[in-house]
Amino acid sequence: MLHSAPRHAFTVVPRNNSKGSLYDHDGSAASDRSSVRGSGRGKTELDKALRADRGSMLDLTLPFSHGTSLLRRVFSEGFLLLRLGFRLYSYLGMGWKWSMQLLRLVLYATLLLPGFIQMIIFYVFSPRVMRSVVYGPKPRQRLDLYFPPDPPQPPATAHPVVIYVTGGAWTIGYKAWGALLARRLSEQGVLVACLDYRNFPQGDALDMLEDVNTGIAWVLDNIARYGGDPRGVTLVGQSAGGHLAGLALLRQAEQAALGSPALGAYPAWSPSCLRSFVGVSGAYDLEHLAEHLHRRGLYKNLLERIMSLEDDNRQDGLSSSGSRYGTAGGGATARGDALDAVGYAACSIVATDCDRKGCAPSGDTSSSVVDGGPKFAAGPEGVDQGLVRAGSARLGNPHDASGCRGGARPAYDALSPVHAAGRLPRSAAAELPEVLLIHGTSDKTVPHEGSMKLVQALKDAGVPEQRCRCLLVPGKTHTAFLIEDPMRGGRDLLMDTVLGAVRGGAAAGEDPERHVYDTLCPGLLCDLAGWVCPF
């Protein structure tokens, strides 16, 4: 195991680094493979990181002495996955649509197997990847860190940071899905943290929001110890991850502006600490998306269960500052319908030269995870509103993700980023970072109109136009940005767009330095995979 720390700040270095350790902040190499330099606090942090790193089932470099415990863990988590799989199947039943989608997903993965194999090898064996760092005490509250190969370029003393929240239809998300984007960003000097979070049926939407908030708070509080710049953090979410990251951001802004707890904003963190938010093919308009997803095989009874709230929580999510879309719980009214007619006025449509063929487990966590974020004054009844940081995420009676108990009902309005933006007080606009939403016009899974609506709602809430953009890319599908195009090689539009946001803010657009990447999978296989892709 290889771990070391710089002279003036603690840094955890990924294990199994056969090529030598990562650098210190001052650029000097750390050479002692067994010693830990620094304070006793640094050693404590290192011990925590080691325990977290040993928690991954994919860790193939464990000492033999840990084999028995690893085997027990594999069987335990395997049984859990089997049990959750049967529960998920109970919602899907024998429907032919989702069965066909599953077969298409298997074929899709098979066609792209040459690229996936290369990424699996990188993910498991690269010394620049630290897997399963624990960021909270609950199941699946872990993240992967992708370290840049070189020290920061002067005058910078720390790396910019990207927090990536993966998609997966709220049911099959996993932190490793962002490995390709994270690898390329890290090669350009960005420290990337890919969050894992509970999927349904292990958790519902509020559980997922709690995980995402906990992970973001942990990164903001702790990333400096790993060589990252907490003042240069960009939040990126894709698909379902875009929904969760975007909603968490909006709820935190509402909470900070009003000084009172907001549904889905536990634990608290300051949205003004972020440099920018980039949403990729995000699911922002749940109310209009439900029927669409039902026709594609994600049945309404499943989505309704994921997005269910108890009545008390539902009203709390709708009554914070008065809905601009009509009465609470009523869904979109005249204002919401008007957003349907926004058209392309709020968005930029860009052509890309990529269009042409050939182009391209539970553990201890730092107390700062729940102690960070804004502190709230006592409420009107003398109740400390800081309970949002130390109490429940739900603000009402608890409900169980395994069944609709206590009157839980679907709450697309309360859990939709479009509606959350429509209810933002104008004082919350100042709390938000720059926002960039990127979406393909040929996305059949999550139509791009949702991104257009969210941008318009943010502008109507007082976010300046230059700080909030929607970028529509003709001909791109739901997965093209993240998988097929990057594997094809050549230009990587998503990579350049995120890198531009990291270096110049979301309003900056693509990084001016165009990067060209090697091919991971033959173009023909990428074309076939895009054709059979179920997403």
- 3-state secondary structure string across 263-291: CCCCCCCCHHHEEEEEEECCCCCHHHHHH
416 given a catalytic annotation: no
The β-bridge relationship of strands 191-195 and 142-146 is: antiparallel
Residue with tokens 């707890």: 261
Give the per-residue pLDDT at 482: 86
The CA distance from 359 to 510, in Å, is 17
pLDDT tens digit at each of 535 positions of the chain: 333 333 333 334 443 333 333 433 333 333 332 333 333 444 444 444 444 444 444 444 444 455 566 666 666 666 566 656 555 555 555 556 667 777 888 898 899 999 999 999 999 999 999 999 999 999 999 999 999 999 888 888 899 999 999 998 898 889 999 999 999 999 999 999 999 999 988 889 999 999 999 999 999 999 999 999 999 999 999 999 999 999 999 999 999 999 999 999 999 999 999 999 999 999 999 988 888 887 776 677 788 888 888 765 555 555 544 333 333 333 333 333 334 333 334 455 544 333 333 333 333 333 333 333 333 333 333 333 333 333 344 443 344 444 444 456 778 889 999 999 999 999 999 999 999 999 999 998 899 999 999 999 999 999 999 999 999 999 999 988 888 888 888 888 899 999 999 988 655 556 656 778 888 889 899 889 888 887 7
The DSSP annotation for 5-70 comes to --SSS-----S--TT-PPBPTTSPBP--SS---S-HHHHHHHHHHHHHHTT-TT-----GGGHHHH
Choice among 3, 288, 448, 478 that is catalytic: 478
Which stretch of DSSP H or E encloses residue 444?
none
Choice among 443, 485, 496, 511 that is catalytic: 443
236: β partners: 164, 278
DSSP 296: T
Give the per-residue pLDDT at 502: 93
Give the per-residue pLDDT at 74: 63
Choice among 56, 239, 416, 451 that is catalytic: 239
443 given a catalytic annotation: yes
Which tokens sit at 49?
A: 């990181």
Show the domains of the chain with their CATH numbers. 131-532 (3.40.50.1820)
Which tokens sit at 511?
A: 């990084």
Residue with tokens 């890198």: 499
Q: In 3D, which of 180, 186, 62, 213 has the Cα closest to residue 132? A: 62
The CA distance from 59 to 378, in Å, is 46
- Cβ neighbours of residue 76 closer than 8 Å, sequence gap 6 or more: none
Residue with tokens 């969210």: 454
The DSSP annotation for 464-521 comes to -GGGEEEEEETT--TTIIIIIHHHH-EE-HHHHHHHHHHHH-GGG-S-SS--EE--SS
Assess contact for 326 and 432: CB atoms under 8 A.
no
- Cβ neighbours of residue 127 closer than 8 Å, sequence gap 6 or more: 2, 14, 15, 16, 17, 18, 19, 22
439 given a catalytic annotation: no
Q: In 3D, which of 234, 256, 242 has the Cα closest to residue 208? A: 242
**Secondary structure in 3-state letters for 101-130:** HHHHHHHHHHHCHHHHHHHHHHHHHCCCEE
Assess contact for 495 and 181: CB atoms under 8 A.
yes
Give the per-residue pLDDT at 93: 56
The CA distance from 145 to 287, in Å, is 34
Give the per-residue pLDDT at 336: 38
